[in-house]
C-alpha cells in the first residue's frame, strides 16, 4: 500500500516526522509548565472549583480505553478507504452510503440510550445548527475531502494533519476565550509543525520526477511535429512506468505541400 523505505532519506524523514507529530500531541496533553495569557483574561475561582469537582466524577480509565479504540478504528478506516476505492471507485457515493449507515446506527444507539420525545424534538436553536454543521461539514464534506486525498496521496497523508487541530484549538482558546497558554502546549506545537514539515518533505521527494532534459526534448519535438512547414522525422521521449527509463519514439512526418 505504501512503502516506508527507511533506508532512503525520504523514508527517514517520514518516520521522524510521524514520531515528532505524535510526540508533540503527547507533550501538549501531558506536560503543562508555566502559564501566560495573550490579551485579556477573566479568572474565576468558583469556575475552577466546579471544574475540579467535575473532573473527580469522570471515569479516566473508561474514557482512555474508548479514546484508544476510537483512534484504532479511525486508523483502520483510512486503510480500508484504499481497499474500497479499488473495488468501488465512486468515492462520493461511498461517502453518502457511509453517512447513511452512520446515521442509522447513531439513531438506534440514541433510542436505546434515551427514547423520550422531548429529547428528540428539534427546534430552531443552537442545537439544530450544531447538528446541521456536524452532518454537512464535519462529516459529509470532511469524508469527501479525505477520500479524495487518500485516492491521490495514500492513507498516511491525511492523518498527519490531525495534530494541527491541537495547534488551532490552543491559539483560538488563547485569543477568543482568554485561556492561558502553557509551555508544554508551545513545545508540542513546535514539535507538531516541525514533524509535519519533515513528513511532507519526505513525501514530496518520493514522487518520481521526469528529468528536465527529457521534458525539454519532448516539448521541442512536439513543437517541431506541429509545424506544417517542417518535413523531417522527429524524436519524442515518452516516459514509462519506471522513473529511470524512457522510450525514444521516432515520428515520421512529411510535408503535405
Q: Which single residue is written with the C-alpha cell 516541525?
A: 194
Q: What was the pLDDT predicted at 190?
A: 92
pLDDT value at position 236? 46
Predicted local distance difference test score (pLDDT) of residue 25 = 87
Predicted confidence at residue 80, as pLDDT, reads 87
**What is the pTM assigned to this prediction?**
0.61
Residue 163, exposed/middle/buried by CB under 10 A (0-12, 13-18, 19+)? buried
According to the model, what pLDDT value does residue 219 have?
45
Query: Which pLDDT score is estimated for 177?
Result: 82
CA 186, 188, 193, 197 torsion: positive or negative?
A: positive
Bridge partners, 36 (sequence order)? 181
State the pLDDT at residue 193.
92
Q: pLDDT of the chain along its 257 residues, tens only?
A: 677 788 888 888 888 998 999 899 888 888 888 888 776 555 544 444 444 444 456 778 888 899 899 989 988 888 888 888 888 888 788 888 888 998 899 889 988 988 888 878 888 888 888 888 888 888 888 888 888 888 888 888 888 888 888 888 888 888 888 888 888 889 999 999 999 998 888 888 876 543 443 444 444 444 444 444 444 444 444 444 444 444 444 455 445 44
- Output the pLDDT for position 83: 86
Which candidate, 96, 209, 202, places its Cα nearest to that of 153? 202
Helices (H), the chain: 9-30, 45-57, 60-87, 91-113, 117-120, 126-133, 142-153, 164-172, 183-206, 212-225
The predicted structure's pLDDT at residue 197: 92
Amino acid at each position: 500500500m505504501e512503502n516506508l523505505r527507511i533506508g532512503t532519506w525520504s523514508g527517514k524523514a517520514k518516520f521522524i516526522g510521524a514520531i515528532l507529530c505524535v510526540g508533540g500531541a503527547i507533550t501538549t496533553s501531558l506536560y503543562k509548565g508555566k502559564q501566560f495569557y495573550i490579551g485579556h483574561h477573566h479568572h474565576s475561582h468558583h469556575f475552577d472549583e466546579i471544574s475540579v469537582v467535575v473532573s473527580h466524577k469522570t471515569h479516566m480509565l473508561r474514557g482512555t480505553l474508548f479514546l484508544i479504540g476510537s483512534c484504532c478504528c479511525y486508523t483502520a478506516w483510512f486503510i480500508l478507504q484504499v481497499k474500497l476505492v479499488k473495488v468501488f471507485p465512486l468515492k462520493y457515493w461511498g461517502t453518502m452510503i457511509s453517512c447513511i449507515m452512520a446515521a442509522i446506527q447513531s439513531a438506534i444507539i440514541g433510542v436505546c440510550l434515551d427514547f423520550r420525545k422531548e429529547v428528540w424534538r428539534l427546534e430552531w436553536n443552537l442545537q439544530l445548527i450544531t447538528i446541521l454543521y456536524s452532518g454537512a461539514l464535519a462529516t459529509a464534506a470532511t469524508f469527501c475531502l479525505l477520500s479524495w486525498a487518500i485516492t491521490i496521496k495514500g492513507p498516511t497523508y491525511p492523518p498527519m494533519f490531525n495534530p494541527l487541530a491541537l495547534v488551532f484549538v490552543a491559539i483560538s482558546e488563547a485569543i477568543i476565550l482568554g485561556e492561558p497558554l502553557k509551555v508544554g502546549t508551545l513545545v508540542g506545537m513546535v514539535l507538531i509543525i516541525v514533524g509535519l514539515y519533515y513528513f511532507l518533505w519526505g513525501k514530496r521527494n518520493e514522487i518520481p520526477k521526469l528529468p528536465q532534459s527529457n521534458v525539454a526534448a519532448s516539448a521541442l519535438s512536439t513543437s517541431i511535429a506541429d509545424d506544417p512547414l517542417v518535413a523531417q522525422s522527429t524524436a519524442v521521449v515518452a516516459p514509462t512506468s519506471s522513473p529511470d527509463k524512457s522510450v525514444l519514439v521516432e515520428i515520421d512526418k512529411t510535408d503535405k505541400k
